[in-house]
Amino acid sequence: MPGGVRIGVTGADGLLGRALRRRGASGWTRAELDVTDPRAAERALARSRPDAVIFCAALTDVDACARDPRARAVNVEAPAWFAARVPTWLVSTNYVFDGPGPHAPDAGPAPINAYGRQKAEAEDRVRAAGGHVLRTGWLFGPGGRGFASTLFDRLRAGPVQALRDWPVQPTWADDVAEALLTLPEGTTHAIGAEEADWATVAAAACALLGLPPERVQPVEALGWGDRPEDARLAPATLPGWSERLPLLLKAR
């Protein structure tokens, strides 16, 4: 970490939070800190006295964000509260954009679902308080719950359906953690340099496992709810997914 800076991480039990803790950041899991409780947050800051907070806590279920009243408290009010009290880096999402991409850091957000709108508002409020924003997306790594993180186990269990017409930039969570720990100022992007679709990623995972290619069943993404058509980010400077996918297999 830069210059012995004490960094606290919210959502420290998540994929990115765990990667940050492995690199020396301290943090609070969901069980240890309800980020929507100002009194609990005040006590947590008073005990830990971090020089900076990386705010990873989020409710990321797109459909739940539209119906769960707690989503706004977690995704908007909580990071704004922290940013008003301690230098804060908000981990935001590529879902603040829709097509066509890739989208630069200074591009105007155009979210099309509640999750994206909440994160876009959080970005504005964190920056207004003097904080910083790092956007990323499609994270994968050991212990993750997303498509890429669980891909090897799912392929071993049987056929896997994978979208073939949705551009993605799968990104290794540990690479994003390294980028975050430099505490980049302003609004920045940290995303994998290699584009694909999920069917291509699944086919590569299938080959690494030595399974027949028919185990992957490509499907169309048309009509897949209120997800952005193209949420790619630029610049894409982190290692590509094909370089990192064998690391995930080794960690299983």
What is the model's pLDDT at position 224? 61
- Are 84 and 122 in contact, with CB atoms under 8 Å apart? no
- What residue type is assigned to position 146 of the chain? G
| CATH code: domain of residue 118 | 3.40.50.720
Expressed as residue numbers, the domain containing 35 is 2-251
What is the model's pLDDT at position 222? 57
Q: Whose structure tokens read 């505490």?
A: 183
Compute φ and ψ for 184, nearest 5 degrees.
-65, 140
User: What average pLDDT score do residues 120-146 get?
Assistant: 97
Does the active-site annotation cover 95? no
Q: For 205-227, how does the pLDDT look when each residue is reduced to its tens digit (9 = 90+)?
A: 999 999 999 999 999 875 566 88
- Of these residues, 55, 115, 152, 198, which one is catalytic? 115
Q: For 159-184, how does the pLDDT look when each residue is reduced to its tens digit (9 = 90+)?
A: 999 999 899 999 999 999 999 999 99
pLDDT greater than 70 at residue 1: no
- Are 122 and 133 in contact, with CB atoms under 8 Å apart? no
Count of the separate structural domains present in the chain: 1
CA angle 186, 4, 175 (to 5 degrees): 55
What's the order of all strands across the beta sheet hosting 7-10?
26-28, 7-10, 52-55, 88-93, 132-136, 187-189
How far is it, in rounded angstroms, from Cα 118 to Cα 192? 24
